[in-house]
């Protein structure tokens, strides 16, 4: 990361009370940025935002809804950001089957409201909309998706994120077009990451948090969908990707105003069972309860991301392999569980370690 780009830079981050958002605040603070957060209160209890005491790192902390355009616009006008990251979302597939309308409202209208608010200030130069690997129409052909493949989405969450991509493209073409960049000076991109793991995720129905919750209680974790393959990565991988992309948008403008995948290398796109076995290995003990015939709502069997574009255009590359990512996650969880000390110190240490490994080219 180029510290000169970030030092003193005004950044507006939605979803700052969430899992990824809290790591993002910690990273931005380390880079010297002045962060305004805009989001609902943490959705889980415990939450990383509270446990790691993220709030004092913020210049401004708004607890508000992205569906509320007037409040969002006002917050953006007051903080006059130069870089915007949009992460606020209803991010769970299973929850989207229970609350489809709320999921579409937050994820689609919320994205339009963020981009509309960007239009209301003249300071923004770069916007990164965080979507997901699930935005692609998935014929389960077991080939990694490229950025120009067809958007789709079987379940409401995936479809809402594909819609968020379409909204982003429409705003880019209609209001932040490359041809008129000199007038508006805004470059807008989207970032599609894989299944993220790391310390401090308590969301329900996510494999690694569910496994860790069970192991902490000495229970046998239930493995719902053992053969499903996902692009697993540590949370610092996509975050470094989002920061890297924002730097390029900020410095070079519309040349980077496109979608980018931030997935792991092929060796880390592994089935659920393999991830669960690796966690037990890192944890040091435990047994699994593998469900033989899953009967929950539909979830994709295979979902793979091609990261070639981010490697070539942004010189971004995955740093920690799956086992290292799981080891860092277990380290964080045990540290938290045993109340070993300041969690922010541990997060800063993990970020520093990640940067060191990145500069050594470790994959
Ligand atoms: N965690 C993953 O594996 C993963 C993978 C790919 C993409 N993503 C995307 O990354 C982003 C962050 O995900 P996360 O895992 O940190 O989720 P999270 O549930 O931990 O955080 C979601 C955040 O959004 C906020 N939020 C929800 N509804 C809101 C609303 N109506 N108005 C304002 N704020 C609202 C929450 O308060 C919270 O701060 C999401 O856009 C998600 O779709 C996550």
Residue-wise pLDDT tens for the chain (363 aa)?
A: 889 999 999 999 999 999 999 999 999 999 999 999 999 999 999 999 999 999 999 999 999 999 999 999 999 999 999 999 999 999 999 999 999 999 999 999 999 999 999 999 999 999 999 999 999 999 888 799 999 999 999 999 999 999 999 999 999 999 999 999 999 999 999 999 989 999 999 998 899 999 999 999 999 988 988 988 888 999 999 999 999 999 999 999 999 999 999 999 988 888 999 999 999 999 998 899 888 766 677 776 778 899 999 999 999 999 999 999 999 999 999 999 998 779 999 999 999 999 999 998 754
Q: Is residue 97 assigned to a domain?
A: yes
**CATH assignment at residue 67:** 3.40.50.720
Phi, psi dihedrals of residue 265, rounded to the nearest 5°: -75, 165
- Domain of residue 133 covers 7-198+232-264+299-321
Distance 46 CA to ligand 1 centre (A): 15
In a domain, 47, yes or no: yes
Query: Does residue 131 fall inside a structural domain?
Result: yes
The answer to whether the pTM exceeds 0.85 is yes
Q: What pLDDT is recorded for position 1?
A: 86
Distance 19 CA to ligand 1 centre (A): 7
Nearest to 263 by CA among 104, 351, 134, 120: 134
Residue 59 in domain: yes
Find out whether 14 and 87 touch, Cβ atoms under 8 Å: yes
Q: How many whole angstroms separate alpha carbon 261 and alpha carbon 259?
A: 7
Cβ 272 vs Cβ 207: under 8 Å = yes
Domain assignment of residue 167, yes or no = yes
Take atom 37 of ligand 1 and give the residue whose Cα is closest. Answer: 40
Asked whether residue 352 is domain-assigned, the answer is no
Q: Is residue 283 part of a domain?
A: no
CA of 99 from ligand 1 middle (Å) equals 15
Tens digits of residue pLDDT in 148-168? 999 999 999 999 999 999 999
Q: Looking at the domain assignment, is residue 91 inside a domain?
A: yes
The domain total for the chain is 1
**Secondary structure, 3-state, 233-297:** EECHHHHHHHHHHHHHHHHHHHHHCCEEEECCCHHHEEEHHHHHHHHHHHHCCCCCEECCCCCCC
Q: Which atom of ligand 1 lies closest to the CA of 17?
A: 39
Return the residue matching tokens 């507006």. Answer: 12
């Amino acid at each position: 990361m180029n510290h000169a780009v970030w030092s003193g830079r005004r950044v507006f981050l939605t979803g700052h009370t969430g899992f990824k958002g809290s790591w993002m605040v910690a990273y931005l603070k380390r880079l010297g940025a002045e962060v305004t957060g805009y989001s609902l209160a943490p959705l889980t209890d415990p939450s990383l935002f509270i446990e790691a005491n993220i709030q004092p790192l913020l210049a401004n902390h708004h607890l508000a809804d992205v569906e509320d355009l007037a409040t969002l616009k006002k917050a953006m006008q007051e903080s006059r950001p130069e870089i915007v990251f949009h992460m606020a979302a209803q991010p769970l597939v299973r929850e989207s089957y229970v609350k489809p309308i709320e999921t579409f409202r937050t994820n689609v209208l919320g994205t339009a409201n963020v981009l509309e608010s960007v239009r209301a200030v003249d300071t923004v130069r770069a916007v990164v909309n965080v979507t997901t690997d699930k935005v692609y129409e998935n014929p389960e052909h077991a080939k990694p998706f490229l950025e120009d493949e067809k958007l789709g989405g079987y379940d409401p969450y995936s479809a809402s994120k594909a819609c968020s991509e379409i909204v982003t493209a429409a705003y880019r073409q209609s209001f932040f077009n490359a041809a008129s960049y000199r007038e508006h000076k805004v470059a807008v991109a989207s970032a599609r990451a894989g299944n993220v793991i790391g310390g401090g995720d308590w969301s329900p129905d996510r494999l690694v948090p569910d496994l860790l919750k069970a192991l902490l209680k000495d229970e046998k974790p239930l493995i719902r969908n053992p053969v499903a393959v996902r692009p697993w990565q540590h949370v610092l991988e996509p975050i470094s990707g989002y920061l890297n992309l924002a730097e390029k948008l900020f410095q070079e403008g519309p040349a980077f105003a496109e979608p980018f995948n931030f997935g792991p290398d092929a060796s880390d796109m592994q089935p659920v069972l393999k991830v669960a076995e690796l966690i037990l290995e890192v944890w040091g003990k435990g047994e699994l309860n593998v469900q033989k015939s899953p009967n929950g709502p539909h979830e994709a069997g295979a979902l793979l991301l091609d990261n070639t574009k981010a490697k070539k255009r942004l010189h971004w590359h995955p740093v920690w392999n799956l086992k290292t990512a799981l080891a860092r996650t277990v380290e964080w969880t045990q540290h938290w569980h045993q109340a070993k000390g300041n969690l922010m110190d541990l997060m800063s240490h993990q970020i520093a370690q990640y940067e060191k490994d990145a500069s050594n080219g470790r994959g």
